Amino acid sequence: MNSTPAKVRKDIIQRPKGTQDICGEDVERWEYVESLCRLQLQSAGYQEIRTPIFEATELFERGVGEGTDIVNKEMYTFEKSDRRLSLRPEGTAGVVRAFVEQGMGRWPKPVKLYYLGPMFRYERPQAGRQRQFHQFGVELFGLDTPAADAEVILMAMRMFEKLALPNLSLQINNIGTVECRERFKTGFKALLAPQLTQLCADCQTRYQTNPLRMLDCKQDSCKAIYAQPTVKAFLETDFTSEDCQAHFAELVRILDALKVPYQRNPYLVRGLDYYTKTVFEITSTNLGAQNAVCGGGRYNRLVEDLGGPETPAVGWALGMERLLTLVGDLPKRTLDFYIVHDQPAEAFQVAEALRASGYHVEVDLSGKGFGKQFERAAKLNARQAITIGEAEVQNGTIRVKHLHSGEQQATTLTDLLSQLAPAKQP
């Protein structure tokens, strides 16, 4: 009708850096993947939990860890009447807070939850990393069994199989309890002390502050040092307790029995402070530098650390954006009927009757000529068009046309419905 170029470029407001508008075909992919994830978890008795998008900053400081990059430099923090608040940089802390606040410690165990939503991290955007991104996560509270670990891992792996993700690798590791970690620190530091000067500057710092993190150093020179047989043996068997090793052995046994392929990676430590015993990560070589689709592990102390009852837990989170880049093309959504008409009331009645039978129906709203309306029907790739004009209204019929074959016939709504009903039910 009217052409409004509106070239007021200077006044255009852009979305903030590192954020995304999700629309068009993209949003259909999102919805598809989201619902598949939900169904997978629901079918195993997990229940959704929706927590606030912002929380007290202290929650993340205590929950995620003061030493992590996430709380040190990546949080969106703001103040409102003396309260320090932050946009959630990850999901677990908020869920644990809710667990404690809602008294879920008294719910029948285990408490199995999943969540889905945006997370925020102030980082330089790049492939597979944005400032607002979305995670789908799972948390299982109240059990310290290898079976619990196995179940959450299985959930992720089966979901990814259904989505046919390419080139996946599941890496798992056992990093032990807090006590094991103490043994690790002293043992590892003693082991590395003679070679300390050969390590990179970062590792020399980590040697003092957080030796565990030395293991995921990317420097080849450091990697070589950590790959020495004595070091490797120490990582795999020496520092974790018998209990932790038994736990891990049982987890591995279950995964083997289920034919879930995995790789033990003794250097996998993960960047968050709260993990204990089992940690794992699912990566794909199709992703680029940020190659982790899903990461998680056991966190047996976090609930307590956040003021709750002693409650073991295990969970993971996956990055929706990264997941989506791995998901192939989806089958095209089909439109069953497009209603071409100049009789809106009757058109809507027919549409509603068909929708009630589970069909996907669109009614023309343009009021343009039938030619234009058919054009639209073809553009939307509708299977059939139903024409309702004055003549049809008068003799109580509708005209149904198959748009692929071009065949058309007059019939009545009742006949059409009885013909279709067996084929498709809501």
Of 298-337, binders to RNA (CB under 7 A) are 317-319, 321-322
* Residue 188, amino acid: F
Binding mask 208-247 for RNA (x = CB under 7 A): -----x--xxx-----------------------------
Nearest distance in Å: CB 318, RNA? 5
Q: Any contact of residue 271 with RNA (CB under 7 A)? A: yes
Residue among 7, 91, 4, 84 nearest 48 (CA):
91
Give how many residues touch RNA by CB under 7 A: 72
* Interacting residues with RNA between 190 and 209 (CB under 7 A): 202
* Residue number, 230 or 405, with CB nearest to RNA: 405
Residue among 357, 360, 354, 343 nearest 396 (CA):
343
Using the rule CB under 7 A, which residue among 70, 93, 95, 180 binds RNA? 70
- Sign of dihedral through CA atoms 39, 94, 14, 292? negative
Q: Any contact of residue 374 with RNA (CB under 7 A)? A: yes
* Residue number, 288 or 309, with CB nearest to RNA: 288
Q: Any contact of residue 370 with RNA (CB under 7 A)? A: yes
* Interacting residues with RNA between 117 and 176 (CB under 7 A): 121, 123-130, 133, 135
* Interacting residues with RNA between 83 and 122 (CB under 7 A): 90, 121
* Residue number, 142 or 295, with CB nearest to RNA: 295
Q: Any contact of residue 253 with RNA (CB under 7 A)? A: no
DSSP assignments along 121-177, one per residue: -----BTTB-SEEEEEEEEEES---HHHHHHHHHHHHHHHHHTT-SSEEEEEEE---
Q: Please give the angle made by the CA atoms of 162, 43 and 47, to the nearest 5 degrees.
A: 115
The region of 100-108, 149-157, 190-198, 264-272 touching RNA under the rule CB under 7 A is 264-272
Nearest distance in Å: CB 3, RNA? 6
* Residue number, 212 or 353, with CB nearest to RNA: 212
Residue among 54, 125, 36 nearest 91 (CA):
54
For 371, residues 6+ apart whose C-beta sits below 8 A from its C-beta are: none
* Residue number, 356 or 391, with CB nearest to RNA: 391
Q: Is the CB of residue 54 less than 8 Å from the CB of residue 277? A: no
* Interacting residues with RNA between 10 and 29 (CB under 7 A): 10, 14-15, 17-19
98-135 burial code (b ≥16 CB/10 A, e <16): bbbeeebbeeeebbbbbbbbebbbebeeeebbbbbbbb
Q: Any contact of residue 375 with RNA (CB under 7 A)? A: yes
Residue among 304, 2, 384 nearest 144 (CA):
304
Q: Any contact of residue 369 with RNA (CB under 7 A)? A: yes
Q: What's the rounded Cα separation, in Å, for the pair 198 and 116? A: 44
* Interacting residues with RNA between 332 and 361 (CB under 7 A): 340
For 16, residues 6+ apart whose C-beta sits below 8 A from its C-beta are: 131, 132
Q: Any contact of residue 270 with RNA (CB under 7 A)? A: yes
Nearest distance in Å: CB 170, RNA? 12
Q: Please give the angle made by the CA atoms of 139, 144 and 149, to the nearest 5 degrees.
A: 55
Burial of 23 (0-12, 13-18, 19+ CB in 10 A): exposed
Nearest distance in Å: CB 424, RNA? 21
Asked if residue 166 has a cis previous peptide bond (ω within 30° of 0), the answer is no
Residue among 287, 20, 333 nearest 165 (CA):
287
Nearest distance in Å: CB 222, RNA? 10
Nearest distance in Å: CB 369, RNA? 4
Total count of residues recorded for the chain: 426
Nearest distance in Å: CB 31, RNA? 19
The region of 40-48, 55-63, 64-72, 97-105 touching RNA under the rule CB under 7 A is 64-72
The region of 53-61, 107-115, 382-390, 412-420 touching RNA under the rule CB under 7 A is 382-390
Could you count the other beta carbons within 10 Å of the beta carbon of residue 335?
17
* Residue 306, amino acid: L
Using the rule CB under 7 A, which residue among 211, 266, 295, 312 binds RNA? 295
* Residue number, 223 or 253, with CB nearest to RNA: 223
The region of 37-45, 99-107, 249-257, 373-381 touching RNA under the rule CB under 7 A is 373-381
For 83, residues 6+ apart whose C-beta sits below 8 A from its C-beta are: 56
